[in-house]
A and B are shown apart, each in its own frame.
Chain A
Amino acid sequence: GEDVEQSLFLSVREGDSSVINCTYTDSSSTYLYWYKQEPGAGLQLLTYIFSNMDMKQDQRLTVLLNKKDKHLSLRIADTQTGDSAIYFCAESRNGQNFVFGPGTRLSVLP
């Protein structure tokens, strides 16, 4: 079945860039997503990318997709303490059935 993997923890200093990585197995994935979860809350979509794209930029966020290696990354520029959260990578084939990674807990140190 489909699988999505992420490293579980990442610590960065305030002001530095954060890079969160994700790998997936389903070569038929057509949509790849990054969600953010703050403590005790639901997930909020940060950004998504179609599988026929290799990069998407949205303000401080840059998503890179290497479809050949099935590797997705999320770069957060100028990381702030408010960026501390859990970040989930997800993929779907048809925009309905989603497979989520285990989440990466980002800690931003002062």
Chain B
Amino acid sequence: DGGITQSPKYLFRKEGQNVTLSCEQNLNHDAMYWYRQDPGQGLRLIYYSQIVNDFQKGDIAEGYSVSREKKESFPLTVTSAQKNPTAFYLCASSGTIVNTEAFFGQGTRLTVV
């Protein structure tokens, strides 16, 4: 089945550690996105990539890094520089064909312990 997969579903990180969230899609989509969602709040864009080997900062990129070495994969690293990383992280992808929608993964809940 085509779709977008995030792993793990739950992740715990000690303060001062970097952690990487996985996002894989088999929809042949060019564009991929990372959003952060805090309780009771909407989605805030962290990074997005419209093509392999290229990505742009979103509204809250500080403390995060990404790579896009393959079309299917867009991992997000939450670095120790991110002061408040506990949140729900959502990955999405969309095609380049006009009128496409964004497809979302099931999310990763990151908790700093």
Contact = CB atoms under 8 A, between A and B. Distances in A.
A41 B99 CA distance: 24
B96 A48 contact: no
Interface residues of A, number: 24
Size bracket of the B interface: 20 to 34
Contacts of A50: 99
Contacts of B102: 33, 43, 45, 90, 98
A100 interface: yes
B94 interface: yes
Interface stretch (B11-19, B66-74, B77-85, B104-112): B104-112
Contact of A95 (B92, B97, B106): B97
Interface of B: 6, 31, 33, 35, 40-43, 48, 50, 88, 90, 92, 94-107, 109
